[in-house]
Amino acid sequence: MFDDEYAQAKILIVDDEPANVRLLERILQRDGFTNIDSTNDPRRFLALYTSKHPDLLLLDLHMPGMDGFAVMEQLKGRIGQNDFVPIVVLTADITPQAKERALTAGAHDFLTKPVDPTEVLLRIHNHLQTRFFYQQLQNQNEVLEKKVRDRTRDLEQAQIEILERLARAADYRDDDTGQHAQRVGHLSALVAQQMRLTPDEVYLLRRAAPLHDVGKIGTPDSILLKPGKLTDEEFEEIKKHTSIGAGILSGSRFAVLQHAEAVALYHHENWDATGYMGLEGDMIPLPARIVHAVDVLDALTHERPYKKAWSLEDALAEIERLREKFFDPVIVDAVMALAGDGGLDVTGAPPPAEHFRAGGEAWKDRDEVTATA
């Protein structure tokens, strides 16, 4: 059945004999085809093909200057893997060698001259039907792929929102603004960028770092909000937030939660092995080492129930003082470089974490302040 889809099909004829082109045009026009282009000069083929994007090519095989084989060679790499453009060769050469060579070169069908109008139309209709079915299948695949992408994005957004809300829940325990966790995430990503970590590593850290104190959900308010110095027993209790946080985040197959687990467990380890678990130097995972320094910087520069806010200059001096004691010297260098470039904003609300995906571009916390007071 001939419908508008076939009538509008774009057909390109390449034949050096004008009489052959006129014959094919008449055959096609009588059958209702209206979108026909042709050339007697095969050297014009590529420009025509690029501008017209034909649905089917009728190609003479033996032409002076550039034969049909050379024409098909020009098409290599120009027809996408997800596209199908039928090539029907028309030639007086009926030798098996010619047919084999043409089919090997990329032809999909082989018709001998003089052509039979009925056979030509039947072959064209069959190949166009195949092309249109192929396009329909590709369109359906694209629709399905889009649905999968949309669903995947929705799931990722849901996961991200849950993580942010979890970090916020822990943050509100000892930070009325609820911004500490996000500031630590943002500043950690800035430091990671300064250290030339990959965009993926920066983005993962931006997502994982806000969960560093999620274990404080299990810390009693009487200890967490105590205005004075903690007793030894209280300090041992608050130290448990690292293992509690790691336990909450453990066992995930997602990279961001695996990073968050390591950050939660090790962000109180000191470069000189005097931290909670006694890990030393490079034994401490790099994300945790970055968060350690940033966590301290943010805690120092913001008011808490048990301390006044320090100036940025005083906080940076404290970070520098503890180089190679509490902090990786490379990370201290990155922090200082950021501060020197004016890129260390510890006061404003941090931008969304997507900023790093698109761009690729008092003391420690409650327990740390008491421990070093």
pLDDT at 369 over 60: no
Once rounded to an integer, what is the mean pLDDT over residues 61-89?
88
pLDDT at 36 over 80: yes
- Give pLDDT, residue 175: 65
CA 321 to each of CA 284, 316, 329, 368: distance values in angstroms, whole numbers, following the listed order: 20, 8, 11, 15
**274 contact partners, CB below 8 Å, separation of at least 6:** 325, 326
Q: What percent of the chain lies above the pLDDT cut of 70?
A: 91
The average confidence (pLDDT) of the chain is 87
pLDDT at 87 over 90: yes
The two tokens of residue 79 are 């027809």
User: Under CATH, domain 4-143 is a member of which superfamily?
Assistant: Response regulator (3.40.50.2300)
- Give pLDDT, residue 367: 40
Closest CA to 54 of 41, 62, 63, 45: 45
Beta strand pairing call for 10-14 and 35-39: parallel
- Give pLDDT, residue 3: 63
- Give pLDDT, residue 19: 94
CATH 1.10.3210.10 fits 172-372, yes or no: yes
pLDDT at 288 over 90: yes
pLDDT at 365 over 60: no
- Give pLDDT, residue 373: 29
- Give pLDDT, residue 177: 57
- For the chain, the domains span 4-143, 172-372
